[in-house]
Amino acid sequence: MFDLITGSAAHIPSRPTVPVLLSLAGQVVVVATAIAVSALWVSEAVPEIPTMMAFVAPPPAPPPPPPPPAPAMKRAQPSPKPVPTAGEFVAPIEPPARIEADTGDGEGFEEGVPGGVEGGVPSGIVGGVIGGIPDAPPPPPPPPAALPRGPVRVGGQISEPTLLHRVEPVYPSAAVAARVQGIAILETIVDEEGRVTDVRVLRSANPLLDREAIAAVRQWRYKPVMLNGIPVRLVLTVTLSFRLEERKG
């Protein structure tokens, strides 16, 4: 190296060419031999692949046969018309040649038929009744007039009922001490048995007097009033007077 720098280096003489070529040829032969051996070993190890594979499958089943054709519908045959037979109750088809007048002596009629009634009408219905159908029964009598639902008032055709039991009202001591007097008018309802069921004040005399008047009238009893044979309720007006006697000096 220092010789190259100083410029005094000497050239190495070149090697001969023949040995180099022989060495290269030997190396090429060795490499080719190795490649050939490896190729032969790989070809023996790899299995052969068939060029064509065939898959055999069973043939498909044949299609089912077509269904048989539907039977043709039969046309409905028209029903034969009934042919009337000759008999006693069958009307003739053809008009008679002539019509004879009825003499009224019963000629041409049979004396009787099975199932007939003695004394029946000729050419009548078998099993009839002597003398024909009886008259219809007379219609039923009309129902009685409907009664009013509510209580009726006394007046007109309805007279005032008979009072069977009367209770006099008590004069309150407080009203006597206070010298309270007056007339109380009450409206009462009497049921079908003659008992007073309801009382209301139409005209008040005094709250003390009204209370005693109502208590007394509720105990009254009347004779039931009949309308068309049926007992009815009534509306009655009762007047009670509360009077004090004048003191004599």
- Mean pLDDT, rounded, of the chain: 75
Q: Identify the top-confidence range among 20-29, 66-75, 76-85.
A: 20-29
152-242 carries CATH number 3.40.1440.60: no
Instruction: Please check the confidence at residue 24 and state whether its pLDDT lies above 50.
Output: yes
Tens of pLDDT, residues 106-135: 554 455 666 666 666 666 666 566 655 666
Rounded average pLDDT over 51-75: 71
Instruction: Please check the confidence at residue 203 and state whether its pLDDT lies above 90.
Output: yes
**Sequence letter at residue 237:** T
Pick from 7-11, 77-81, 211-215, 228-232: least confident: 7-11
Give residue 189's pLDDT. Answer: 93
Q: Is 247 exposed, middle or buried (0-12, 13-18, 19+ CB in 10 A)?
A: exposed
Q: SS3 of 38, please?
A: helix
CA 5 to chain centre: 130
Give residue 209's pLDDT. Answer: 94
Residue keyed to tokens 């109502």: 214
Give residue 1's pLDDT. Answer: 47
* Distance of alpha carbon 121 from alpha carbon 129, whole angstroms: 10
Going by pLDDT thresholds of 50, 70 and 90, the confidence category of residue 27 is confident
Q: Identify the top-confidence range among 4-18, 21-35, 145-159, 199-213.
A: 199-213
Q: Where are the domains of the chain?
A: 152-242
Pick from 65-69, 72-76, 112-116: least confident: 112-116
Cβ atoms within 10 A of the Cβ of 236, count?
20
Contact 188, 236 (CB under 8 A): yes
- Residue 33 or 74, more confident: 33
